[in-house]
């Protein structure tokens, strides 16, 4: 499988090289040159596979030519052996035809484990084969950092540096990063906001001269294709459990960067009979505003109770737009360029395609808290704030109640005690048993000023030979 850039000006790469880089050199994102499409009979043939066997079938074409089947199987089995629930992605019923897909059974309690635990192992495999060492640098508002650290803690060919905004992530989130000990793991608490962390990572990818000879940076945010690929699997898995392919299924997806819902869109393009895809946003609602009235307009960042969806622009949206523009890279490059400085609309032919694919809804903090309390009252199920946004949007956008609606539950409520307690829940929700000692463990992190040179010199001093 070859990968091409959404802006049409970069050479095609294979899976390994795509995984080991960030953005394409033309500023675009990599997507598969062509997507596999499966017949209903083929889809039906996988309907009773366990999660890991299904993951193998879905992922295999994307890595073909780079990773032999037996090795891929071993990587996938190892990845999901760390999940606590035997179903890996269990479904829970909330109401008639209304379901939650629990994607927080992995080691760091958020859906990012599905992709990042696999990415760490894929990187380790490829780097070992190539006898190459790399540096991971990433910014996190909480969940990406812990999942990436956990996924790479045993990788001898990777030094990982994760920047989080100093005193601006929850204590559970911070401790999930800073209590993982290893001489390849480095947490930087940057004296600034998440945007500053992100800007610093972006500047570092653009000029990697501060790295030792022969090293390169690898991205762990959802611009990395390998993350998206791993997320396609659970759409199939949930749909099968509810009767696909003979029955259609809808999904509601709490999203900020459009990463998770883009994986659902891909599942649909690959042949999975998905009825509705609901884009659920918080007050940072650029996606909702665009899908409802064809206006791409950056607004200032708002800090919400669902911090993992606090974004200004949604990077993965470009991947989906590329398809809606019939893969015209020059048109996408022009659109993205203009978006930096003005409010843009897209031609009606492309917009009609977007409208045909997605519904959207934006949920503010008050409605988030209200949804957590209502669902708890009705069914004694405690939602985290991100999942609550998904449930609220699902209820608002659900068109045909005879089609099952699945909301992706993206985090465990113990990660976000503030929102849960605002909803009237009396205490911070307890952590699962396997991390009950989180508050007793030693922490290690470096507080650094919001200064690029200071961060680079810390990194240069800590990258192992």
Residue 338: strand, helix, or coil: helix
Position 259 contacts ligand PLP (CB under 6 A) = yes
Number of residues near ligand PLP (by CB under 6 A): 17
Return the number of the residue (260 or 318) whose C-beta is nearest ligand PLP.
Answer: 260
Q: How far apart are CA 389 and CA 41, in angstroms?
A: 35
Backbone angles phi, psi at 141, to 5 degrees: -95, 5
289-328: contacts with ligand PLP (CB under 6 A): 308-309
**DSSP 8-state code for residue 414:** G
How many C-beta atoms lie closer than 10 Å to residue 453's C-beta? 9
| Nearest distance from C-beta of residue 386 to ligand PLP, angstroms | 4
Residue where the block lists tokens 């009606």: 348
Position 257 contacts ligand PLP (CB under 6 A) = yes
Residue among 170, 143, 91 at smallest CA distance from 428: 170
**Region from 81-89, 251-259, 320-328, 350-358 binding ligand PLP, contact rule CB under 6 A:** 251-259
Locate all alpha helices (DSSP H) within 360-415, ordered by sequence.
365-379, 385-397
| Nearest distance from C-beta of residue 65 to ligand PLP, angstroms | 27
Position 255 contacts ligand PLP (CB under 6 A) = yes
Position 112 contacts ligand PLP (CB under 6 A) = yes
Return the number of the residue (79 or 306) whose C-beta is nearest ligand PLP.
Answer: 306
Give the C-alpha distances (Å, rounded to integers) separating 148 from 81, 99, 154, 245, 326: 17, 28, 11, 34, 34
Radius of gyration of the chain (CA): 21
**133 classed as catalytic:** no
Residue where the block lists tokens 């759409």: 235
Position 256 contacts ligand PLP (CB under 6 A) = yes
Return the number of the residue (317 or 325) whose C-beta is nearest ligand PLP.
Answer: 317
The size of the chain, in residues, is 465
Position 222 contacts ligand PLP (CB under 6 A) = yes
Residue of 112, 133, 392, 415 marked catalytic: 112
Return the number of the residue (319 or 456) whose C-beta is nearest ligand PLP.
Answer: 319
| Nearest distance from C-beta of residue 389 to ligand PLP, angstroms | 8
| Nearest distance from C-beta of residue 112 to ligand PLP, angstroms | 5
Print the binding letters for residues 410-429 with ligand PLP: x by CB under 6 A, - otherwise.
xx------------------
Return the C-alpha torsion angle 179, 386, 75, 227, nearest 10.
-110
Helix (H) or strand (E) holding 218: strand 217-218
Q: Which residues are catalytic?
A: 112
Contacts to ligand PLP by CB under 6 A: 110, 112, 143, 222, 254-261, 308-309, 386, 410-411
């Amino acid at each position: 499988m070859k990968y091409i850039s959404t802006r049409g000006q970069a050479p095609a790469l294979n899976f390994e090289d795509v995984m080991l880089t960030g953005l394409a050199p033309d500023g675009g994102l990599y997507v598969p040159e062509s997507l596999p499409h499966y017949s209903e009979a083929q889809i039906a043939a996988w309907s009773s596979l366990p999660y890991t066997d299904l993951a193998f079938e879905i992922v295999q074409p994307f890595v073909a030519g780079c990773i032999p089947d037996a090795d891929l199987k071993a990587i996938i089995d190892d990845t999901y052996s760390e999940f606590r629930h035997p179903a890996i992605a269990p479904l829970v019923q909330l109401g008639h035809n209304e379901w939650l897909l629990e994607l927080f059974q992995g080691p760091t309690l958020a859906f990012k484990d599905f992709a990042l635990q696999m990415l760490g192992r894929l990187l380790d495999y490829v780097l070992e084969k190539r006898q190459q060492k790399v540096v991971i640098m990433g910014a996190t508002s909480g969940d990406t950092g812990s999942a990436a650290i956990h996924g790479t803690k045993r990788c001898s060919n990777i030094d990982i540096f994760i920047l989080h905004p100093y005193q601006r992530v929850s204590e559970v989130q911070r401790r999930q990063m800073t209590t993982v000990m290893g001489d390849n793991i480095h947490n930087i608490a940057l004296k600034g906001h998440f945007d500053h962390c992100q800007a610093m990572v972006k500047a570092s990818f653009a000029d990697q001269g501060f790295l030792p000879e022969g090293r390169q940076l690898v991205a762990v945010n959802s611009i990395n294709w390998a993350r998206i690929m791993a997320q396609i699997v659970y759409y199939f898995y949930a749909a099968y459990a509810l009767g696909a392919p003979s029955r259609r299924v809808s999904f509601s997806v709490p999203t900020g960067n459009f990463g998770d819902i883009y994986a659902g869109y891909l599942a649909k393009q690959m042949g999975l009979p998905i009825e509705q895809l609901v884009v659920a946003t918080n007050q940072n609602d650029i996606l909702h505003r665009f899908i409802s009235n064809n206006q791409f307009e950056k607004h200032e960042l708002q800090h919400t109770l669902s911090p993992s969806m606090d974004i200004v622009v949604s990077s993965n949206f470009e991947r989906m737009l590329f398809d809606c523009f019939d893969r015209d890279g020059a048109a996408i490059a022009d659109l993205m360029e203009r978006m930096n400085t003005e409010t843009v609309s897209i031609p009606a032919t492309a917009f009609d395609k977007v409208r045909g694919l997605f519904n959207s809804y934006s949920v503010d903090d008050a409605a988030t808290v209200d949804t957590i309390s209502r669902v708890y009252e009705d069914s004694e199920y405690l939602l985290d704030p991100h999942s609550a946004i998904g449930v609220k949007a699902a209820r608002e956008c659900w068109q045909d109640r005879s089609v099952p609606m699945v909301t992706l539950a993206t985090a465990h409520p113990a990660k976000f005690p503030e929102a849960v307690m605002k909803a009237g829940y009396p205490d911070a929700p307890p952590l699962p048993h396997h991390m009950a000692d989180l508050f007793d463990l030693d922490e290690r992190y470096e507080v650094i000023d919001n200064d690029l040179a200071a961060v680079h010199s810390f990194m240069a001093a800590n990258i192992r030979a």
